[in-house]
Structure 1
Amino acid sequence: MTLIELHQVSKTYRTHGAVTEALFNVGLKVDKGDIFGVIGHSGAGKSTLLRCVNLLERPTSGRVIVNGKELTALREKELQQERRRIGMIFQHFNLLTTATVTENIAFPLKLAKWSSSRIRARVDELLELVGLRDHAGKYPAQLSGGQKQRIGIARALATNPDVLLCDEATSALDPQTTQSILQLLLDINAKLGITILLITHEMHVIRSICNRVAVMDGGRIVEEGDVLDVFLKPKHAITREFVGQVSEWPDDQFAYAHRGGRLLRIHFVGESTYEPVLYEVVRETAATFAILQGTVSRMKNTPYGQLLIELRGETADMDRIVDRLRDRGVDVEVVS
């Protein structure tokens, strides 16, 4: 089921006679339960795209549909109602500095006119969920960046939204805290089934928790797909640049000298990553192989491995190895 749909969304800013196209005919679909990442450099349009989803930025043209409701067609009062079903986490927390943790989390519930007893019960649930029960009476200035972001997450979840928008939610945090926040988002997605749309300029965020990704450049989506597919076979130059942030792969595969053999790049995905597939296939022939480069990692919950090998032997044997690997579902690229 598709939960978020953008149809030919454009956003134009006009300032002092200058025209800036922040978004140009963007189309996007996010399915229920997805953790969908949008990555791009500063100025690519990703923040504008995110803010168009809940109409904090109203598109110049195009349609925005969330949960079957066309938000761009709603009146302001109806739009306010629908926004309660869309939570938002901000890069710099946006907390009330003179309010306690409990009061910050309760704030959107008071605006929604929940009863005091219902607010208390909901805040208690959220404090437990984000691990802040022992800090309920503290003020933001007494907390770390990671704890402040946990308040922001709890507040965004207060009204039981169907969608959680994350605006660079970890870019102000150190690496260790970033991982704890990403794990929390994963847990929330798994426990609550909430759909998450996040923007980032960091590929490791995409690799850690997203199942789908869109790459933005110049106000357009230039590449989109399952994270594994995009990561292992990036097509656009911008995508390749982002993949390079986290890739352990050598920059120049041709730097490896080889003695007349055949250079192969092999990708294993899923459980085959841990199986002796290459050994079993090669031993059926008289060929030999040398491993020149190899890594094993994970993409969200999926293991994957990459090997750069040199096959040595008769042409018929090397052809057979490539065919047999592909028959067993292994992705093989003949480099040279």
Structure 2
Amino acid sequence: MIALQNITKTYRSRGQTVDAVRDITLHVEKGEIFGIIGHSGAGKSTLIRCINLLERPTSGSVTVGGTELTKLGGKELQRQRRKIGMIFQHFNLLSSASVRDNIAFPLRLAGMKKTAINARVDELLSLVGLEEHGNKYPAQLSGGQKQRVGIARALAADPEVLLCDEATSALDPQTTNAILSLLMDINEKLGLTIVLITHEMQVIRSICDRVAVMDGGRIVEMDTVLNVFLRPSHPVTRQFVNELADPSGAVPVARRAGGKLVRLHFVGEQTYEPVLFEALKGTGVQCAILEGTVARMKHTPYGQLIVELSGNGPDIESVIDSLRRSGLDAEVIG
């Protein structure tokens, strides 16, 4: 659906050149939710704006739905852009227009007839749960409601792709979860391809299928969300994953001499099975649970435990081997 090939975006300022994005190649499959994460200044906003050519790459090609956008200009580029919706961190609504008029705005630009516009706006208000708010103005809405208007407006022209530029960064956690649930629902109902950028790993974990991690204008790691969580390879990725597991950054310390700290990852239905109990049974090894979380990666249950195993050294190794044979990712961390 989306193919970026060797994309570089260079800015020139005061006689200096800065590569905001450097030689990036990636492919996004039709119908997937693809996340791009990075710290401020990593280049993720520039990259997502290259997809619809709001930022034209200095070099490289952008292809969406089989059409190479970087070869287009003028009216043809404008026509192809209608297939790409976009929502923004700060909503970008018309403050003097009602909710209905904000949603209808791109349809009026496209020359759609009034009766068709009204029907489409009604449909979109229902989709985003704002049926009772059509005649209100942005100043009368909460942040979450404003973002729902932004989503409805982005969907007005029935796009094939939805780009989300830090769409939840200005929202509180509860509202963020509601907007993410809405985006996942839209993805599943409409088969829409979604690309989102964020600096929050919780957003990636909640709804994305795959993720690219950016640092210094480059993609430093890219894989399924599950693999990135289980086996992060780049220091920036490990930082994001560790911050989500424990925002304080504190690492538990073994309390007993000879004890081993082990981080266990549970995936799927195994999250709810007594795998640890079965591995310990009859071994004489004692287990203390120091930390634990259970969450979901999109639709997949996922759990993490940090445990201290104490007892006879060979018996501890036997327990760890048993856990790994059962399919758990068991990492000795101390």
TM-score by length of 1: 0.93
Distance 1:176 1:252, change over 3 A: closer
Q: Deviations over 1:126-158 (max 9, x none)?
A: 000111111111111222221111111000001
Deviation of residue 278 (structure 1)? 1.2
Note the 1:14-163 alignment, pairs <5 A.
Answer: 14-163=12-161
**Partner AA of 1:12 in structure 2:** T
Comparing 118-127 with 240-249, which one deviates more in the overlay? 240-249
State the Cα RMSD in Å.
1.8
SS for the counterpart of 1:255 is coil
Q: Hey, what's the Cα distance between the residues in 1 that align with 2:245 and 2:309?
A: 23
Q: Say whether the 8 Å CA contact 2:254–2:261 is kept in structure 1.
A: no
Distance 1:4 1:140, change over 3 A: same
Distance 1:254 1:97, change over 3 A: closer
Q: Hey, what's the Cα distance between the residues in 2 that align with 1:12 and 1:115?
A: 42
Note the 1:243-254 alignment, pairs <5 A.
Answer: 243-248=241-246, 251=249, 253=251
**What is aligned with 2:302?**
304
Q: Hey, what's the Cα distance between the residues in 1 that align with 2:141 and 2:292?
A: 42
Q: Deviations over 1:265-297 (max 9, x none)?
A: 211111101100111122153434332332222
The answer to whether residue 280 in structure 2 is matched with residue 264 in structure 1 is no
Q: Hey, what's the Cα distance between the residues in 2 that align with 1:263 and 1:238?
A: 23
**Partner AA of 2:135 in structure 1:** G
SS for the counterpart of 1:264 is strand
**Partner AA of 2:110 in structure 1:** A
Comparing 38-47 with 305-314, which one deviates more in the overlay? 305-314
Distance 1:254 1:155, change over 3 A: closer
TM-score by length of 2: 0.94
Q: Hey, what's the Cα distance between the residues in 2 that align with 1:91 and 1:307?
A: 34
Q: How many residues align?
A: 334
The answer to whether residue 217 in structure 2 is matched with residue 219 in structure 1 is yes
Identity among equivalent positions (%) equals 63
Q: Say whether the 8 Å CA contact 2:258–2:313 is kept in structure 1.
A: no
**What is aligned with 2:276?**
278
Q: Say whether the 8 Å CA contact 2:290–2:307 is kept in structure 1.
A: yes
Q: Hey, what's the Cα distance between the residues in 1 that align with 2:134 and 2:276?
A: 55
Q: Hey, what's the Cα distance between the residues in 2 that align with 1:290 and 1:141?
A: 52
**Partner AA of 1:148 in structure 2:** K
**Partner AA of 2:2 in structure 1:** I
**What is aligned with 1:188?**
186
Q: Which runs of 5+ in 1 are unaligned?
A: none
Comparing 139-148 with 279-288, which one deviates more in the overlay? 279-288
Deviation of residue 45 (structure 1)? 0.6
**What is aligned with 2:9?**
11
Q: Say whether the 8 Å CA contact 1:256–1:292 is kept in structure 2.
A: no
Distance 1:254 1:108, change over 3 A: closer
Q: Hey, what's the Cα distance between the residues in 2 that align with 1:157 and 1:278?
A: 47
Q: Deviations over 1:154-210 (max 9, x none)?
A: 000011111100111111222222221111111111111111101111222112221
SS for the counterpart of 1:121 is helix
The equivalent position to 1:200 in structure 2, one of 192, 198, 201, is 198
**Partner AA of 2:143 in structure 1:** G
Q: Say whether the 8 Å CA contact 1:291–1:310 is kept in structure 2.
A: yes
**Partner AA of 1:43 in structure 2:** G
Distance 1:290 1:14, change over 3 A: same
Q: Which runs of 5+ in 2 are unaligned?
A: none
Q: Say whether the 8 Å CA contact 2:100–2:135 is kept in structure 1.
A: yes
Q: Deviations over 1:70-127 (max 9, x none)?
A: 1111232221111111000011111112211111111111111222221111111000
Comparing 296-305 with 166-175, which one deviates more in the overlay? 296-305
**Partner AA of 1:115 in structure 2:** K
Q: Say whether the 8 Å CA contact 2:122–2:131 is kept in structure 1.
A: yes
Q: Say whether the 8 Å CA contact 1:248–1:295 is kept in structure 2.
A: no
**What is aligned with 2:171?**
173
Distance 1:318 1:244, change over 3 A: closer
SS for the counterpart of 2:12 is strand
Q: Say whether the 8 Å CA contact 1:9–1:25 is kept in structure 2.
A: yes
The equivalent position to 2:329 in structure 1, one of 328, 331, 336, is 331
Q: Hey, what's the Cα distance between the residues in 2 that align with 1:126 and 1:313?
A: 61
The answer to whether residue 235 in structure 2 is matched with residue 237 in structure 1 is yes
Q: Hey, what's the Cα distance between the residues in 1 that align with 2:164 and 2:292?
A: 34
**Partner AA of 2:253 in structure 1:** A
SS for the counterpart of 1:50 is helix
